[in-house]
Amino acid sequence: MVPFNNQGSPSRPDNQSPATAFQMAESTIWMDGVLTPYGQSQIHVLSHSLHYGSAAFEGIRAYKTSSGKPAIFRARDHVERLFRSMAILGGSVPYSVDQVIAAIGDVIKANHLDECYIRPIAYFGPEVKGLKLPLASSMKLAIAVWPWGKYLGDGSANKGIRVKIASFRRPEVGSSLPWAKLSGNYLNSIMARREATLAQVDEAILLDQQGFVAEGSGENIFVVANKKILTPFACNVLQGITRESVIEIASKLGYSVSEALISRNQLYDADEVFFTGTAAEITPIGEVDGRLIRGGVVGPITKEILKVFEGAIRGTSDEWEEWLSYV
Question: Is-contact 265 210, C-beta < 8 A?
Answer: no
Report how far Cα 250 is from the mean position of its chain's Cα atoms: 19
Least distance in angstroms from the C-beta of 50 to ligand PMP = 20
Q: Are 178 and 215 in contact (CB under 8 A)?
A: no
Which positions ≥6 away from 192 have C-beta within 8 Å? 166, 168, 204, 206, 217
Please, which residue, 175 or 226, has the CB nearer to ligand PMP? 175
Q: Classify the C-alpha dihedral 106-7-305-244 as positive or negative.
A: negative
Q: How far is the CB of 46 from ligand PMP (least distance, A)?
A: 27
CB 217 within 8 A of CB 190: yes
Q: Which of 317, 315, 318, 320 is nearest to 114 (CA)?
A: 315
Number of H helices, E strands in the chain: 7, 17
Q: Between residues 86 and 128, which has the closer beta carbon with respect to ligand PMP? A: 86
Q: Which is nearer to ligand PMP, 134 or 160 (CB)?
A: 160
3-state secondary structure of 278: coil
Concatenated DSSP letters of 4-37: --TT-PPPPPGGGS-SS---GGG-EEEETTEEEE
Positions in the binding site for ligand PMP (CB under 6 A): 59, 189, 215, 218-220, 237-238, 240-243, 276-278
Residue 52 or 186: the one with the smaller Cβ distance to ligand PMP is 186
Short-list 150, 66, 49, 60, CA closest to 108: 60
User: From the candidates 64, 140, 164, 181, which is the catalytic residue?
Assistant: 181
For ligand PMP, give the closer residue by CB, 59 or 120.
59
For ligand PMP, the closer of residues 161 and 241 by Cβ is 241
How near is the Cβ of 2 to ligand PMP at its closest, in Å? Answer: 25
- Min separation Cβ 278 and ligand PMP, Å: 3
Name the residue among 172, 253, 251, 245 with its Cα closest to residue 211.
172
Question: In angstroms, how far is CA 118 from the centroid of its own chain?
Answer: 10
Compute CA 25 distance to the chain's CA centroid, rounded to the nearest angstrom.
Answer: 23
Taking alpha carbons only, the member of 261, 144, 285 closest to residue 210 is 261
Cα separation, 326 vs 105, whole angstroms = 9
Active site (annotated) includes residue 303 = no
Instruction: Kindly list the catalytic residues.
Output: 181
